[in-house]
Structures are given as C-alpha cells and as structure tokens.
Amino acid sequence: MKLLVTGGAGYIGSHTCVAAFAAGHEITVLDNLCNSSPEALERVERICGKKPRLVVGDIGDRACVRALLDAEKFDATIHFAGLKAVGESVEKPWEYYENNIAGTLVLLDELRRHGVFNFVFSSSATVYGNPDPANLPLREDAPLAALSPYGATKLWLEEMMRAMAKADPRWHFMLLRYFNPVGAHESGLIGEDPGGIPNNLMPYITQVAVGRLKELTIFGRDYPTPDGTCVRDYIHVCDLAEGHVAALAKVADLPGCTAINLGTGCGTSVAQLVASFEKATGRPLPHRYGERRPGDAAACWADATKARELLGWVAKRDCDAMCRDAWRYQSMNPDGYRRG
C-alpha cells in the first residue's frame, strides 16, 4: 500500500515505518518535527535500506496537506501526529485542542476530499480514564472518560470518527488504543527521544542508568497491588508497530469505526519493571520511593483478545526484551539523536 504516515518521525511512527517497510508498503511521512528529528528517518534507512519520503509540514496546514494529497494518491493513513504530554496539556489546553483536534479535522477533511478513507488512529488507553478495578483487564467496551485535555483530545477525536463513520460508509477507522509503549528497535538505532526531563517511566529509568539523571523516584508504594506500586501494561514499541501493520491489512475490510486495544494483556508493576531493567543492565538502578503522583490509577492493563481475533496480532516481546532494547538504544545514544 501507499501510506501517509503523519508524525512518522516520532517515537512510535519511526518504528512503524520499519515494520511497514518490512511488510512491503511505500511510505510518505508528514511531520512538522515539533517533537522529533529528521535523523530518526535517516536511522530508519540504516535499518531498512530505504527511507520514507519526508514532507515537513503541519497536519493543520490545509494548503500543505492539500498539495501533498493532490500530488500523491494514498491507500491509507496512519495518524500519529499529535502532542502527547498529559501534564503539559493541563498547562496549555488550547494548544492541545488546536494541534490535536483542529489539526486532525483539517487532515480528515482533506482526506475525504481526496477519497482516502482508510484511517488508522493513534488513540490511547487514557480514554479509559481511571479504570474501575472491576473492569480489569480493560475491554474495548469499558466506560470511557477523559482526565486531562490530552485525554479529551483522544476521546473527542474517537467520538468524531465514530460519528463520521456512521454518516458516511466510505470511512474505515481503526482506533488503536495503545497501553504503555516502551523499548526500542533491537538495532539500538531508533528509540524514544524525549526533550527535557522525561515524565514517563522507561525514559526516566534509562536516563538514570546512563547518568543523565540521579535517581528514579517510584511514585507510591501503598497502592492496592501485589507489591504496592502501580501496575501497567507495558508493550514493546516493535510489537506496537507490528500491530499497525496488522491493522492496515484489515482496515478496509472492517466497516465503520473499530476500537482495538494494543497491549500485552499482562500487568507489570513499577517495581517489577525496575527489577527487569536491573537484570538487563546487570547493575542496580538508583531509586527511592516517593509520594503517589496525583491522578495515577493503581492498575491498568488490556484485554488483548479483540486484537488477536480481529487482527491476528499478539504482542511477542516480554519485559526483559523491552528493558534490554531500551537500554541498548539509550547507551548507544546517550543524548538521543542530537549527538548519538
């Protein structure tokens, strides 16, 4: 297929380019590089022997999107482009609504004008809000809620896509709800490259391990979980990338709008992840226990049955592989792509 991949220079996008090339697809990336580097696509070329075409532009720039769609006929879009920091979205809600919602509406409008109706959307487990423990593992029909402006952008875009699919049967939407993507390509060439001090657990861990940060604070050890630390469904980014390829193979066959969890179906606690990481590096990771982080759910993991049944996809890589690969990338690129 000829694919338009928005946000394809980013963390999940670049890994998906590798998986999509392996499956024989052609790729054009549309990315404004607000949170990524074109170096990521150079690295994709080192892994795959070919490079996605990069169009530097904004999904909300109608003239840019139109010119791109006038010039190339795509079979499907994978839409990664968006701002994704929960805390920042609380500080700057307008920027999140404008970038993620207004931008996506321009993109969708131009796609329909150009007859490109197969659309794979990066949604998130954040749409489940703070899940009721009775609903674990989370199925796609669990109640939805937004706890931040970021979460609201995912929830509202999902809602818009459901309505658009209902109104116009030419649309085929896949709403892929990612759980906690971590890790990196096994080559160590591409991985997560957060600017500033990371908010997420795995990049924080790897930056402590590489000496950029002093120690990890584990937020809370009094949760109602087996070891008192929060439980999440960490998924290797390469499994996630392969999930997109599986979704592409089915998107045109599934009518309307289909929400699918991409997770492993297993919960791992923060303390367990730290232990896996220590095993991967062979040395202790400096850490201490601190207060709970406001807003954190005690536990959140996926029921991954629908992905297996509809897409024939299951996550294959375990926590040890996630930690090993995250560490390999961080040690090969201690300062991310800047001086890697």
217 binds ligand UDP, rule: CB under 6 A: yes
Given ligand NAD, ligand UDP, none, residue 217, with its beta carbon under 5 to 8 Å by kind, binds ligand UDP
Nearest residue to 180 (alpha-carbon basis) of 319, 295, 61, 57: 319
- Give 3-state DSSP helix, strand, coil % of the chain, rounded to 5: 40, 20, 40
223 binds ligand NAD, rule: CB under 6 A: no
Q: How far is CA 87 from CA 116, 139, 193, 205, in A?
A: 34, 26, 18, 19
13 binds ligand NAD, rule: CB under 6 A: yes
Given ligand NAD, ligand UDP, none, residue 103, with its beta carbon under 5 to 8 Å by kind, binds ligand NAD
185 binds ligand NAD, rule: CB under 6 A: no
Strand pairing report for 231-232 and 299-300: parallel
Q: Which of residues 119-138 bind ligand NAD (CB under 6 A)?
A: 122, 124
Strand pairing report for 287-290 and 268-269: unpaired
Active site residue 150: yes
- Which range touches ligand NAD (CB under 6 A), out of 3-11, 42-50, 222-230, 263-271? 3-11
Pick from 21, 74, 80, 117 the residue near ligand NAD by CB under 6 A.
80
Q: Which of residues 133-192 bind ligand UDP (CB under 6 A)?
A: 180
For residue 223, give every residue at least 6 positions away whose Cβ sits within 8 Å of its Cβ, in sequence order, or none: 229, 230, 231, 292, 298, 299
219 binds ligand UDP, rule: CB under 6 A: yes
CA distance 151 to 149: 5
CB of 222 to ligand NAD, least distance (A): 25
CB of 59 to ligand NAD, least distance (A): 4
CA distance 125 to 240: 13
CA distance 201 to 198: 8
| Sheet arrangement for strand 268-269 | 268-269, 231-232, 299-300
272 binds ligand UDP, rule: CB under 6 A: no
CB contact at 8 A, 320 and 328: no
CB of 135 to ligand UDP, least distance (A): 16
188 binds ligand NAD, rule: CB under 6 A: no
CB of 52 to ligand UDP, least distance (A): 27
CB contact at 8 A, 114 and 77: no
183 binds ligand NAD, rule: CB under 6 A: no
- Which range touches ligand NAD (CB under 6 A), out of 8-16, 108-116, 284-292, 313-321? 8-16
- 270-339-33-84 Cα dihedral, nearest 10 degrees: 10
293 binds ligand UDP, rule: CB under 6 A: yes
- Catalytic residue chosen out of the listed positions 11, 128, 150, 223: 150
CB contact at 8 A, 312 and 235: no
Nearer to ligand NAD, 195 or 286 (CB): 195
3-state secondary structure of 234: strand
List the Cα angle 147/123/220 in 5-degree steps: 45
336 binds ligand NAD, rule: CB under 6 A: no
96 binds ligand NAD, rule: CB under 6 A: no
Chain residues in the site for ligand NAD (CB under 6 A): 6-7, 9-13, 31-36, 58-60, 80-84, 99, 103, 122, 124, 178, 181
Chain residues in the site for ligand UDP (CB under 6 A): 180, 199-201, 204, 216-219, 230, 232, 270, 293, 296
* Residues belonging to the active site: 150
